[in-house]
Amino acid sequence: MNEKMINYVVEHGNTTKDQFLSLNWEEQVDFILLHLAGGPNRWCIYKDFMNFMAEFCQECIDEDKKAGTNLSKWLFTVAMQRLSKGAVLHKPVSFRNQLEGKYWIYSSAYDDYHIMTEDCLNFIYFGLPVAAKYAPTKDYALTIAWGLLEHLDEDGNTTNGFSLDCPNPNDEGQRLFSTAHHIVMNAGLSDEEIFEHFAEPDQWRKHIDWLWRHLDEKRWKQFFEKQGIPSSGLKGWKARKTLKKEMKEKYYAISF
């Protein structure tokens, strides 16, 4: 464990350096690190924990490897629940069911809903990409990334009531969109999995670059079906032609 991580824990946790180092990794997680998230009476997971996971998430995975444990799963899950509890909009999650046994007391199930704060942003930028490549938390991290892509656009604008509580919401929105896009494109997903999200009626205009390069005959048919365009008849033919023309013009506008 590096000195910077130890100093952070001593500064923000209820421990001394000697006390902390006298514990094994599982004890450090159970008695010190998770306590940074706050107790049962918190209003939401504390920023000290979110910032810890933003900066030291890879170190936690490294400690797991040395100890032969899988405790980073719970650390990541607690941090991501802070995002799920109002900060990032996505499909519903069962907060308590995600945390097993003794760890359910750190669930966000009974926390208040809150919008994005600086510590949430830090974790998304530096912790979420790591969580998306860590097998036990990959699916949850991708759920959050898809939620960001759904409720932001490439210019940083927010949609569907999503709100960013930060000094420069448009700049942060652009960075969040870019980060989420990078996460899903580097998660080892199949083209079909990506297509299912990018081709949604309220999403496809954000992802024209990818779609234009990946729409073969079969996917064009699936794409038109998603837009509710008839597969036959003059009306369907005109709608398909118009949509295809719009996508082609926008693709070449952003590509050259």
pLDDT for 165:
66
What are the backbone angles phi and psi of residue 152, rounded to the nearest 5°?
-130, 160
Instruction: Evaluate whether 45 touches 112 at the Cβ level (below 8 Å).
Output: no
Instruction: Evaluate whether 198 touches 210 at the Cβ level (below 8 Å).
Output: yes
C-alpha to C-alpha distance for 29 and 126, rounded to whole angstroms: 20
User: DSSP character for 90?
Assistant: -
* pLDDT mean across residues, the chain: 91
pTM above 0.85, yes or no: yes
The encoded tokens of residue 14 equal 């209820």
C-alpha to C-alpha distance for 244 and 220, rounded to whole angstroms: 9
Instruction: Evaluate whether 81 touches 95 at the Cβ level (below 8 Å).
Output: yes
| Cα angle 30-31-36, degrees, rounded to a multiple of 5 | 95
Sign of CA dihedral 87, 89, 90, 91: positive
pLDDT tens figures, 54-102: 999 999 999 999 999 999 999 999 999 999 987 887 877 888 888 988 8
User: DSSP character for 84?
Assistant: I
* Percentages of the chain per state (helix, strand, coil), in multiples of 5: 65, 0, 30
> In 3D, which of 158, 106, 149, 153 has the Cα closest to residue 128?
149
Instruction: Evaluate whether 180 touches 197 at the Cβ level (below 8 Å).
Output: no
pLDDT tens figures, 237-248: 999 999 999 999
pLDDT for 90:
81
Stretches in the chain below the pLDDT threshold 50: none
| Cα angle 103-107-112, degrees, rounded to a multiple of 5 | 160
Instruction: Evaluate whether 50 touches 120 at the Cβ level (below 8 Å).
Output: yes
C-alpha to C-alpha distance for 235 and 223, rounded to whole angstroms: 16
H or E, element range at 195: helix 191-198
Q: Kindly report the number of other CB atoms within 10 A of residue 59's CB atom.
A: 15
pLDDT for 167:
66
The amino acid at residue 237 is: W
Angle between helices 72-82 and 138-151 (to 10 degrees): 20
